[in-house]
Structure 1
Amino acid sequence: ATMFVVDASGSMGANRRMESAKGAVLSLLLDSYQHRDRVGMVAFRGNRADVLLPLCSSVDLAYKRLRELPTGGRTPLAAGLERGLNLLMAEKQKDEGVIPVLVLISDGRANVSSSYKDIKMELLALAEHARAEGIQVIVIDTEVVSKSFVKMQLGYCRDIAANSGGRYYPIADLTPQVVHDIVIQERERSVLHDLHSVLI
């Protein structure tokens, strides 16, 4: 089960993030007759996270539900992560054979906390929770800066990937194909890793 958690806030590039995620969702669902995978999408903006597409294997439902992609407002990154994690954990409880994958697409510049905790502490706690629950995390960071400015990055994407034991991809030129390929690559990598563990 693959859940996209997408930054729809008013930060730069929101439309591109949403369109790229939508394109990747649709192409993964078209692929899913081979993989039998279920794909969903959560978007966060303003002060909440909305389930735009519940986990499903229906291309028709995805076309209908993702026709309109609202953007704008502040960046409640923690709310998005929490919603995505909860949906994947519920899916895992229904079917133990599920391989849960959370794909975060954001510049990581969170500015709304879902509780009164420090934003960074809250995000790191959620990332650690994902790791503890066995949820594979893929972070696609759209805040791309040159190597000499890495220390000046304002987003939390790198930290989320590190704390969740996930994979970090800084992507300057985001397209549906790029997102789709990253997810397929990581899915294959995790299957190989599981096979290797069994053989050992």
Structure 2
Amino acid sequence: MTSSDLTYQIVDYLRKNLDREYGIKIFKLSTSIFAARVPRQQIREFGDIDSDRIAEYMRAHIPGSRLNRATHAYIIADTDYVEVDPANLFDCVYDAEIDIDTIGSDTDYVFNSIESRIILEEQKEAEKLREKSIVEAIEEPEESEEITPDQNVPVEDAEATIHRILDHFAHGKQKKIAVGRQTSGRRAEVLTQTKRGRYVRYRMPVDKPGDIAIAPTIRAAAMHADPDKEFTIRGSDIREKVRRRRVATLICVVFDASGSMDDLKKTSVTKSVVLALLRDAYQRRDRVSLVTYAGRGAEVILPFTSSVELARRYIEHIPFGSTTPLAAGLKRGMEVLRSENRKEPSAIPILVLVTDGTANMPLQIGGNINREIANVCRLLKQDINVLVIDISEEGADLAEDIAHACGGGYYHPSRISQQVLYHAIKCEQESVSDVKSEGV
């Protein structure tokens, strides 16, 4: 008996001992086997509803610790099945820290791992069907979006460095699929459900398909086609296009306007850095907001704008003085970004904190300053990219701690100098590889 025959017998035994309506169980045979039954004739009909039901049941009834010894995992339909990697399946279901947002089903990632196996099997079968007229000459050219090359060349090497920093943050943590209002930008790309953008791949539709991928749909239908009968396309054969398009970045610059910054060198470097950020944002079609903190709280001195001149006028007339409510500044910056991000869900949010690492005023009278800052950092880490620029003379532990707690970047020059600051940022940026989190 071959191994494939043995596997088929095992799967047949599992099928008979599971309820067709999402029966899920761990079987102890020669090894521990996880099996889930779906009410589908064929496994290629597996969809988002199925992945949701399986994941919900597992989270509610099967502790993750019980699955540690499972060596095989099968998703079983009426006539066939698919074997998936147990570790990948269980990690997807039980992992509580997902860095990407999803559209439709919150268990798309489970379905995708299963669909990739199905697609692989379909591709193998498609090779055998090439001689059939129904699949001959079906080639759909990839649609492309004309993107104008960037013509804006920074006038200073320092601004080019700032540009690369923000590009890294924009690409480092992106949303999985963009919906809602989408404003074009140049810095980052995300996947989108709209009909605009480059066609990069296909998927089974979450809801009613609006942008059908013709070639993949026909290939899926060809898998069950009878050469002697009329060619038909089932609902389960439909594939929709997934496109990628460029989106804008929202940058909230939060900087210290307290008495600790009332020093000519500090204020000069701070204004230079902020203006460089603003110029880069203008070139990249990003929008920038300015938040200052001093005294008892923080203030939005400039709502989101793409006007560099308007921002410049605000910066040049900022008064420095009073106490340093750093937690209030972080909290206000987070609120501003989240509020704007709700209006423009596809945009990439970035908070840039310019600080000397001083904090001497709590959010509430008698509050614990360090605890308040830690709590705000924990919230920022969930969905906002953070860049901390430390302009203190010797480097501040608090500024570095904030960057670490937010999962962001930290930059500090060895002395208060605009040139050294840019050089430090450039060296740090070149040591980091861009990470794409896109994909469906």
Q: In which range does the TM-score fall when normalised by the shorter chain?
A: 0.7 to 0.9
Going from structure 1 to structure 2, the CA distance change for 1:184 and 1:40 (only over 3 Å counts) comes to farther
Going from structure 1 to structure 2, the CA distance change for 1:54 and 1:166 (only over 3 Å counts) comes to same
Match of 1:142 among 356, 366, 391: 391
Q: Does 1:122 align with 2:372?
A: yes
Query: What is aligned with 1:85?
Result: 334
> Percent identity at matched positions?
38
Query: What is aligned with 1:131?
Result: 381
- Two-structure CA RMSD over aligned residues (Å): 3.2
Query: What is aligned with 2:61?
Result: none
Once the 2 structures are TM-superposed, how far is the Cα of residue 181 of structure 1 from its aligned partner? 8.1
Once the 2 structures are TM-superposed, how far is the Cα of residue 170 of structure 1 from its aligned partner? 2.0
1:37-76: per-residue Cα shift (whole Å, max 9, x none)? 0112111111121222222101232133223010011111
Partner SS, residue 389 of structure 2: strand
For 1:53 and 1:179, the matched residues in 2 are separated by 25
Amino acid at match of 2:408: G
Going from structure 1 to structure 2, the CA distance change for 1:60 and 1:144 (only over 3 Å counts) comes to closer
Query: What is aligned with 1:62?
Result: 311
Where does structure 2 lack aligned partners over 5 or more consecutive residues?
1-249
Contact kept? 1:7, 1:45, Cα under 8 Å: yes
For 2:302 and 2:264, the matched residues in 1 are separated by 17
Report the structure number with the largest CA radius of gyration. 2
My pick for the range that moved more, 96-105 or 55-64, is 55-64
Contact kept? 2:259, 2:321, Cα under 8 Å: yes
For 1:94 and 1:135, the matched residues in 2 are separated by 15
For 1:58 and 1:175, the matched residues in 2 are separated by 27
Amino acid at match of 1:197: S
Query: What is aligned with 1:197?
Result: 437
Alignment of 1:14-163 (within 5 A): 14-115=263-364, 116-132=366-382, 134-145=383-394, 155-163=397-405
Partner SS, residue 198 of structure 1: coil
Amino acid at match of 1:125: N
For 1:182 and 1:135, the matched residues in 2 are separated by 23
Once the 2 structures are TM-superposed, how far is the Cα of residue 176 of structure 1 from its aligned partner? 5.8
Higher helix share: 1
Higher relative contact order, structure no. (Cα contacts within 8 Å, ≥ 6 residues apart): 1
Query: What is aligned with 1:171?
Result: 413
Going from structure 1 to structure 2, the CA distance change for 1:33 and 1:181 (only over 3 Å counts) comes to farther
Going from structure 1 to structure 2, the CA distance change for 1:28 and 1:178 (only over 3 Å counts) comes to farther
Q: TM-score, normalised by structure 1?
A: 0.79
For 1:14 and 1:6, the matched residues in 2 are separated by 14
Once the 2 structures are TM-superposed, how far is the Cα of residue 180 of structure 1 from its aligned partner? 7.3
Contact kept? 1:25, 1:39, Cα under 8 Å: no
My pick for the range that moved more, 5-14 or 74-83, is 5-14
Amino acid at match of 1:62: A
Amino acid at match of 1:162: H
Contact kept? 1:23, 1:177, Cα under 8 Å: no
For 1:127 and 1:179, the matched residues in 2 are separated by 24
Partner SS, residue 410 of structure 2: strand
Going from structure 1 to structure 2, the CA distance change for 1:79 and 1:179 (only over 3 Å counts) comes to farther
Query: What is aligned with 1:149?
Result: none
Going from structure 1 to structure 2, the CA distance change for 1:29 and 1:106 (only over 3 Å counts) comes to closer
For 1:112 and 1:104, the matched residues in 2 are separated by 17
Amino acid at match of 1:160: I
Going from structure 1 to structure 2, the CA distance change for 1:16 and 1:135 (only over 3 Å counts) comes to farther
Q: How many residues align?
A: 190
For 2:285 and 2:427, the matched residues in 1 are separated by 17
Contact kept? 2:355, 2:389, Cα under 8 Å: yes
